[in-house]
Amino acid sequence: MLCLFLLLVQTNAVMFQHVEAHIQNNTGAPKKKQFLGSILSDPKKFVEEATNLDPVAVVEIIKLLDVLLVTSVETEKDLSDTLDIKTAESIETGIALSRAGDAVGIAEGVVKVAEGVLKDAKDTVDTKKEMLKAKKILLEAAKDAHTTQIEVTQASQDKLDKEKPDLDKEQVTLKDVKGMLGSVTDGALFSCEAGQGSHGPKLSENTDNSKEKCEHHCRSTDGCIAFDYTTEDISNACRLYSSIGHSRTDPGVHGRQFCVWKHRGYKMIKMANQDGQKMCADRDTTDKGCDLSCCQQQCLDNVDCTHITWFSDINCRMSFTGCKVWAQGYSSLTQWIYKKEA
C-alpha cells in the first residue's frame, strides 16, 4: 500500500491535496490508520522509499506527516481534557452527595421534634415522614450517580493510561521521520567553500555561472554529489562531479566555489528503535550536538571514515573499520547507520 501511495504521489502531485484533506476530515478512518500504520510498522522502509522521490513530493509527504502528528497530539489532549471534565463532574456529584446527607440529617431532626408533639400534630409528623422518605430516595439517587461518575472517571483515566504510551511513541517516531525527510528538503543542501573539484573526469559542465543555476543542474543530474562554479561568463562555469575525491582548496584563476551535497554520498543501511538496538561497535569519535548534516560532513572530511551512526539525541559517532561488528544500542533513542559511498 505504501509503495502504491508513493507511486501515486510521484506521478501526480495533485493527489496529495486529496489525501491530506481526507486525513484531516476523517482522522479516525481506516485509511488514516493504514497510512499511519505503514510509517510506524517500518519507519526505515518508509524513509528509504520517500527519499527516492523528488523534493517536491517529499514536501507533500511532510505536510501529511504534520497532519498525522497534529491529530496524535490533539487525540492525547482530548483524552486529557475529558479526564479533567469528568474529574470536575465527580467533585460536583460529591458536593451533591454531601448536601443530600446534610438534608437527611436536618429532616431526621425535624422528625424527632414532630414525634415529640405527636398527639398535637400527627398530620404534621406524617407529612415530615413523607418528606424524609423523598429525601432518602434523593440520597440513594445521589449515591448511585456519584458511583457511576467515579466509574466513568476511572474509565477515562484507564483509557488515557493505556493510550498515552503508544501516542507518545507515535509522536516521537513521526517527529524522527519528519526530521529525516526535512533534512532532504531544507534550503542548505550544499556546503560551499573556495576550491575546485578534481582534475579527473567530470559528469558534465555548462555555462551556468551562479550557485543557484549550477546547484539546480547538479540536483537534476543522476550521480552528482558536488559541483564547482564561477560567476565569470565562460563555457565551463559550472562543473559537476560524482565524487569529492582529490578535490582542491585552490579556487583557481576564476575564483571558483566548491559545493558538496551534504546528504548524498551516503546509503542508510540500518535504522533501529525500540527492541534490538544496533550500532557500529567501533566508535572512536563521539560528538554531541551534531545534526545529521554535521555528522555526514565530518565523515566526508575524514578519509578513513567508513560509516556513521547518528542518534536522535543529536549525537554522532564515526566508524573507521567498515562497521563489521555490531554493538547493542540504546532503547530510549532511535539510531541510523549510514555507509559512506563517495
C-alpha cell at 49: 522509499
Work out the burial of residue 272: count CB atoms within 10 Å of its CB; fewer than 13 is exposed, 13-18 middle, 19 or more buried.
buried
Task: Say which CATH superfamily domain 190-261 falls into.
Answer: Hepatocyte Growth Factor (3.50.4.10)
Distance CA(15)–CA(49), nearest Å, equals 18
**Where in the chain are the domains?**
1-187, 190-261, 266-340
Return the number of other C-beta atoms located less than 10 Å from residue 19's C-beta: 20
Distance CA 312, CA 291 (A): 9
pLDDT tens, residue order, the chain (342 aa) = 444 344 434 433 333 444 444 444 444 456 667 777 878 888 888 888 878 878 887 888 888 888 888 888 998 889 999 999 999 999 999 898 999 889 998 988 888 888 888 778 788 888 889 999 999 999 999 999 999 999 999 999 999 999 988 887 777 666 555 544 544 444 457 888 899 998 988 999 999 999 999 999 998 888 788 899 999 999 999 999 987 778 888 999 999 999 987 655 676 666 655 445 577 877 766 667 777 777 888 888 888 888 888 877 778 888 888 888 878 777 777 777 888 875
Query: Cα(20)–Cα(52) distance, rounded to whole angstroms?
Result: 21
CA gap 184, 337 in Å, rounded: 16
- Whether 266-340 and 190-261 are alike in CATH topology: the answer is yes
Amino acid 10: pLDDT: 43
Dihedral of the alpha carbons of 299, 303, 304, 306, in degrees to the nearest 10: 50
Q: Which three cell numbers stand for residue 65?
A: 506527516
pLDDT of residue 264: 56
Q: Could you tell me the fold of the domain covering 266-340?
A: Hepatocyte Growth Factor (3.50.4)
Residues 6+ apart with CB under 8 A from 336: 180, 268, 270, 271, 292, 309, 310
Query: Would you state the pLDDT for residue 227?
Result: 95
Q: Which helix H or strand E contains 314, and what residues bound it?
A: none
DSSP state of 12: -
